[in-house]
Amino acid sequence: MTPFEEFNFSGQKALDRVDFNVPQDEKGNITDDNRIRAALPTIQKILKDGGAVILMSHLGRPKGGPEEKFSLKHVLPRLEELLGLSVAFSGDCVGEAPTQASAALKPGEVLLLENLRFHPEEEKGDPEFARKLASLGNVYVNDAFGTAHRAHASTAVIARFFPAGKKMFGLLMEAEVTNAGKILHHAQKPFTAVIGGAKVSDKIEIIQNLTRIADHILIGGGMAYTFLKSMGKEIGSSLCENDKLELARQLREGTLGQVEIVLPEDSVIADRFAPDARTRMVDNDHIPPGWMGLDIGPKTVSRFAGIIRDSKTILWNGPMGVFEMEAFRSGTIAVAGAIVAATRSGAYSLVGGGDSVAALNQSGKADQVSFVSTGGGALLEYFEGKQLPGIAAIRPE
């Protein structure tokens, strides 16, 4: 695979698949431009070399045709502002308009194509649609890690229309793949995975796969209560997926000896799911009926923090409690603090998954871990051990 940094883009028209799927308010205004910012270094390197850039992305979930709300026009002003350049826009991503716009593009110029998902062929991975996109440029750069788990036309199928030396990861994608690979393939021991969030069903496969490589898996968040109930504990009205009890039991029992799965010992419980609920701190064998666990308690925090402190590699995905509410935030913040402290002492730490990143940002510590991933579903599938089509299309394993 050609390393992006070594490629000279002079005189080239690079088709750069970015992830401009930014959050918007009801009027279509961008409420968070991090994804645009993250795509800039790749764009700037191509321009600096004397190449031209054709940007393609999806935005939102249009229902198979153009929808004003999801037009990439909304991204244009912020992109121009951040790049300090005017950017041409093509009202369609395939056909006459982008073909002409691409032909007119000169070195140092940027063209943004309209939302790829205005064509259902994008998500179907249609080869003819991919071929039309490919015809717009002569080098393909994939910088959209967030969609790497999708076999879509612009993320995977398109690569087959470019020769080996003319398809590559962009800088963002390269960093994501390198950092995730460090954990999956070269984790220094002890390796601790901290997994939280609402549902066991979303995280079963990642836990299953991590049992092969991790030394400790610390489980927090709502999903912990399904595990606790599978051990026969009373969990009151805490979140529980009854159809996953058997799976949780098997996972706990089937992996004993190879990896230590650590469950919370105590909880911050509440009498209802609300920021101003009445709260109590209890051991997990004493959650009264009608009360629900919404955060890990102090004994759990200190056990988790101790294990994290002694680790050389740490992966964190998912909050330890309902961190959106002040009263149930401290477990998540404490875990973030422990990961930061371990990183300072030389551990390698990767944080990924929308909510743990949000929690890390909230505590102002995002720059104090080794790597913060932009990939939600893609990162999860990577750690589930699945092959991601967006990666395989460029770097077959």
Active site residues: 35, 199, 354, 377
Q: Which is nearer to ligand AMP, 197 or 389 (CB)?
A: 197
Q: Which is nearer to ligand AMP, 134 or 183 (CB)?
A: 183
Q: Which is nearer to ligand AMP, 237 or 311 (CB)?
A: 237
- Work out how close the CB of 257 gets to ligand AMP at its nearest, in angstroms, rounded to a whole number: 28
- Nearest position to ligand AMP, beta carbon: 197
Q: Which residue in 334, 303, 299, 309 sits closest to 319, CA to CA?
A: 334
- Work out how close the CB of 103 gets to ligand AMP at its nearest, in angstroms, rounded to a whole number: 44
Contact indicator for 98, 104 with CB cutoff of 8 Å: no
CA distances from 371 to 215, 254, 351, 352, 353 (A): 20, 31, 6, 8, 12
- Work out how close the CB of 38 gets to ligand AMP at its nearest, in angstroms, rounded to a whole number: 21
3-state SS class at 186: helix
- Work out how close the CB of 295 gets to ligand AMP at its nearest, in angstroms, rounded to a whole number: 7
- Work out how close the CB of 54 gets to ligand AMP at its nearest, in angstroms, rounded to a whole number: 34
Q: Which is nearer to ligand AMP, 90 or 317 (CB)?
A: 317
Q: How many CA atoms lie within 13 A of 139 on its CB side?
A: 25
Query: Which residues of the chain form contacts with ligand AMP (CB under 6 A)?
Result: 197-199, 202, 221-222, 239, 293-294, 318-319, 321-322, 324, 353, 355
Q: Which is nearer to ligand AMP, 108 or 376 (CB)?
A: 376
Q: Which residue in 392, 353, 11, 370 sits closest to 173, CA to CA?
A: 392
Integer Cα distance of 44 and 22 in angstroms: 20
3-state SS class at 378: helix
Integer Cα distance of 395 and 15 in angstroms: 17
CA distances from 105 to 4, 96, 108, 114, 116 (A): 21, 14, 9, 16, 20
End-to-end CA distance of the chain: 11
